[in-house]
Homo-oligomer: A and B are copies of this chain.
Amino acid sequence: MIDETLPLAPPLSVSQWFHARTPITLDSLRGRVVVLHAFQMLCPGCVAHGIPQAKEVHRQFAREEVAVIGLHTVFEHHEAMTPVALAAFLHEYRIEFPVGVDARTDDGGDIPQTMRAYGMRGTPTLVVIDRVGRIRMHAFGSVEDLALGALIGRLLVES
């Protein structure tokens, strides 16, 4: 029933992790559904919709079933959205799931590495990855809770 030719999610290129004792790889999350929330701390749509939704997914599902990962994909205002600013943001918004800082490219371009590898168009972007590592949703902008829940429910049950 599932298209076996679906692409595997590219690896995460992260320069710094918050709320993670050791670097997180998608390989280490195999067997779980991964909800990857790409955001910028000064993106109004992320603050109003994307982040509350990611927090709610983190709260409602068992950790060994669903892994919520934040990815700080800064592609503008780099001087404002630094890791030290992100740390304050995570504290103030009580974000407890792991958040990685998307790594800058060697050529100093604005678009960071993971954002580029996934072809993300902006923030917020939601990527849902199934238990075997395939991308099953890639959405720019708001995704309704009902639709996200339905996809997670499907991915948890399918064999």
Identify the A interface with B (CB < 8 A). Answer: 42-44, 47-48, 53, 56-57, 60-61, 76-77, 79-82, 84-85, 87-89, 91-93, 144-158
Partner of A88, one of B42, B61, B89, B154: B42
Docked complex Cα distance between A61 and B146 (Å): 10
Are B92 and A43 neighbours in the complex by a CB distance under 8 Å? yes
- How many monomers of this chain does the complex have? 4
Are B144 and A56 neighbours in the complex by a CB distance under 8 Å? yes
Contact partners of A77 in chain B: CB under 8 A:
85, 88, 91-92
Contact partners of A47 in chain B: CB under 8 A:
47
A-B contact pairs, 18 of them (CB 8 A): A42-B88, A42-B92, A44-B92, A61-B150, A77-B85, A77-B88, A79-B84, A79-B85, A79-B88, A80-B87, A80-B89, A81-B88, A145-B149, A149-B149, A153-B153, A153-B156, A153-B157, A157-B157
Docked complex Cα distance between A146 and B93 (Å): 20
Docked complex Cα distance between A61 and B154 (Å): 13
Docked complex Cα distance between A87 and B78 (Å): 12
16 additional contacts, CB 8 Å, given A145-B146, A146-B148, A149-B151?
A43-B92, A44-B93, A57-B146, A60-B144, A77-B88, A77-B92, A79-B84, A80-B85, A146-B149, A147-B149, A149-B150, A149-B152, A152-B153, A153-B154, A154-B154, A157-B158
